[in-house]
Amino acid sequence: MAVRFQLVIDCADPDRLACFWVAALGYQLAPPPADFATWNDYYRDIGVPEEDLVDGADWISEPEGNGPSIWFQQVRDPKLVKNRLHLDINASGMRTDPIQIRRQRVDAEATRLAALGATITGALVEEGLDHYAVGMMDPEGNEFDIN
């Protein structure tokens, strides 16, 4: 039987990354649990110390409830090495679409996300392969690809 899971991303500024990834993925800021006005009210209720609370958003979810939720956990340690796990965002369409059309879609999405604070690291293409992707980093340097 499959299990549900959430993705946790360590970061310095949860609100900044939550807002970026909401725009990148079409997700929404996750509403707090029933009977709580804010997530911090909920966290206080379960005993999270005041010094561990963050200002702003730190949890996002897929609006239809189909995809995993993502929690942005504030950590003090800076990111130092390449991710061992990364997201691939499919913006190109179907493999049956012409490669030139898929490239245009990928490039347009990379440009949109760069305007939101991401960094384009370069095209990921191999001669002879019917594949095109663009490597990127989110505002805190976490790698992801647009394909």
CB contact set of 99 (below 8 Å; sequence gap of 6+): 130, 132
User: What is the domain partition of the chain in residue ranges?
Assistant: 6-74, 87-146
**CA 100/CA 62 separation, integer angstroms:** 30
CB 137 within 8 A of CB 143: yes
**CA 112/CA 108 separation, integer angstroms:** 6
Beta bridge partners of 87: 144
Find the mean pLDDT for residues 88-114: 93
Q: How many other CB atoms sit within 10 Å of the CB of residue 132?
A: 20
pTM more than 0.85: yes
- 87-146: CATH topology: 2,3-Dihydroxybiphenyl 1,2-Dioxygenase; domain 1 (3.10.180)
- Of the two residues 1 and 68, the one the predictor is more confident about is 68
Given this model, what pLDDT does residue 54 score? 86
Find the mean pLDDT for residues 96-112: 94
